[in-house]
Amino acid sequence: MANDQEVRPQGLLLTLFGGHVLGRGVRVATGSVLDVLAGVGVAEHAARSTLGRMAEHGLLARHRHGRKVYLGLTARSREILNDGEVRIWRIGVADDRWDGTWTLLGFTVPESQRAQRHLLRSRLSWAGFGLLQGGLWIAPSPVDVEALLEGIEAAEHVKVFQARALAPTDVRELVESAWDVEALAKSYRRFTERWTAPPDLGSVDALGRQLLLTSEWLQLLRQDPRLPVPHLPADWPAEGAQRLFRRLHAELEPRARAIAFEKLDTVPDEGGH
């Protein structure tokens, strides 16, 4: 689906594994995963390349079973997928119970550790941090920083604090400087407009439609730090978009699950959960 929220193959794969592998104690054949992605327009070479990178980054474990290669989850991917499930189904998009606590995180990573610096920034964005200034990042709630930094060599360069904003700090101004609130609101409105009248997805089946819907929604949630409601515009569109997502997901769920059962070739994951 061509749009400004184009979902990348890794997003679709994580959605597929989160919805149909996580918690089932199975591994899934590479070939059947490629078939599912082909159904939403992802070329085989792009899918294989993405699967390879995910394996290299510790997100998937490859296991040969007979003549086939099966993909299993790792501790890291389970953590990411569980986090995604919590974001989608438990936390929600509105934070109306904020107690005024900010988490501040600062770091200066040497140029020789550029890859680690990129990984750290990605983790911070995923966790809802915004860049306040220089190397200082900020999040509007307590954060489990130890879990966030797990496996990052550059963690030794990180300093973390919790704080409260004091006068004369303008919290609304602080929020707007660390996060692009207007762009986030536009993204929620575009999501609502695009999915209110179901987009023309041609021959894409219910599983593919649900993967596209959920991947796009989670991609949007990853941009949303769940900023305190009192410091957001009165017409904040996130909750309306969330109601739409949940209704469409529920409508697609029975057929999508049946199709996944038919298409995905699985074997038990002896070491999985």
Strand stretches in 93-224, DSSP E? 101-107, 130-133, 136-139, 158-164
Q: Determine the Cα–Cα distance for residues 101 and 147; give it in Å rounded to an integer.
A: 19
Q: Which one of 25-34, 60-69, 141-150 scores highest in mean pLDDT?
A: 25-34
pLDDT tens digits, residue range 240-253?
Answer: 999 999 999 999 99
Counting residues of the chain whose pLDDT is more than 70, the rounded percentage is 97
The two tokens of residue 252 are 């697609």
Q: What is the mean pLDDT of the chain?
A: 89
Q: Give the span between the Cα atoms of 8 and 41, in whole angstroms.
A: 11
Predicted confidence at residue 1, as pLDDT, reads: 41
Domain extents for the chain? 101-164
Architecture field, domain 101-164: 2-Layer Sandwich (3.30)
Contact (Cβ atoms closer than 8 angstroms) between residue 60 and residue 73:
yes
Confidence of residue 2 (pLDDT cuts 50, 70, 90): very low
Q: Which residue has the tokens 């999501």?
A: 191
Burial of 76-106, coded b for 16+ CB within 10 Å and e otherwise, reads: ebbebbebbbebbeeeebebeeeeeebbebb
Distance (Å, rounded) from C-alpha 231 to C-alpha 100? 11
pLDDT tens readout for residues 30-50: 999 999 999 999 999 999 999
Whole-number Cα distances in Å, 256 to 18, 21, 36, 135, 149: 14, 14, 11, 44, 35
pLDDT tens digits for 143-191? 888 888 888 887 788 899 999 989 898 988 899 899 999 999 999 999 9
Do the beta carbons of residue 145 and residue 103 sit within 8 Å? yes
pLDDT at position 27 over 50: yes
Mean pLDDT of 99-117: 85
